[in-house]
Amino acid sequence: MTRHEVIGGDRETAAERAPRGARRLRGLALDIDGTLTEGDYYPLILRALGMRDEAIAVFFRNLRGSEPPEMDYHRVRADLMRSWPDRERATRELMEGIFRYVPFRPEASRLVGHARALGWPICLITASMDVYARAIARRLGIGDWYSGCSARFDADGRLADIVFEPDPGQAKCRHLSAFCRRRGLTPGEVLVVGDSEHDLGLFAGTDNGVLVRRPGNEPLATYAWRTVDHLDEVIPLLPGGPGGPGSPDIPDSPGVPGLPDVPDPATGQ
């Protein structure tokens, strides 16, 4: 097993590894959904684009019925595209407008601001859609972002297709390598913050993985260097933490005017 493979059952755990001495950290890689935000963005856009609550619940139930890398993303894509009753509403403009209102965790901008004050390169690495990753990166002032899913639009700006990476975890590892090459870093110099099994390859490849706890991801803590409940707990892991200069907090919007509330991903309610 290579450093950039998703952690397997016979690999020693983070707790079993001899503790590393002084870590030379000088870069930050962040997941988005469940890490910088409280939850998934899919329910917001699916409902805003006209998908019924029942269809949203079925979509998420099917999505979670199989795990990577066995997940049939061709089926997921077909289900997603077929479930939109009004394709005229699925436009780049509407998606970008929605993503401007996806709420961050309240401490997300403090973490990004502290890393920026240190002069660290920062990137977003997500399995989510590229138009979403770009919007979140712009809001946080982050120049480097990588996504595992591409939205394709026609000449009129309407959604024509969605192309998924077949293995989001492996895609994230490739993206981390690209970020390191671009910024002159080694993987061991990058602090990685994530919340799902898709981030385990990044944890293994850097030995600097920080897991953000959420219901259901407790077993992943075995493979993380640190586990946290809030992003403010990550700041002390950076040089100069926990205080120090940072950018002002980015205020969250209560929602997009005229759009319904976001359903829970698990229930569709």
Ordered mean pLDDT values, 10 residues apiece, the chain (269 residues)? 36 43 84 88 69 70 51 63 64 85 90 94 94 93 93 88 83 96 96 95 96 93 96 90 42 36 36
**What confidence score (pLDDT) does residue 83 get?**
60
Could you give the dihedral angle defined by the CA atoms of residues 179, 180, 181 and 185, in that order, rounded to the nearest 10 degrees? 150
Strand partners, 228: 212
Could you give the dihedral angle defined by the CA atoms of residues 191, 133, 252 and 247, in that order, rounded to the nearest 10 degrees? 40
**What confidence score (pLDDT) does residue 59 get?**
64
Kindly report the pTM of this predicted structure: 0.77
Total number of residues shown for the chain: 269
Q: At what angle do helices 53-63 and 73-82 cross, to 10 degrees?
A: 180
| DSSP SS3 for 88 | helix
**What confidence score (pLDDT) does residue 168 get?**
86
The answer to whether the beta carbons of residues 198 and 169 sit under 8 Å apart is yes
**What confidence score (pLDDT) does residue 42 get?**
66
Strands (E) across the chain are located at: 27-30, 122-129, 144-153, 159-164, 190-194, 209-212, 226-228
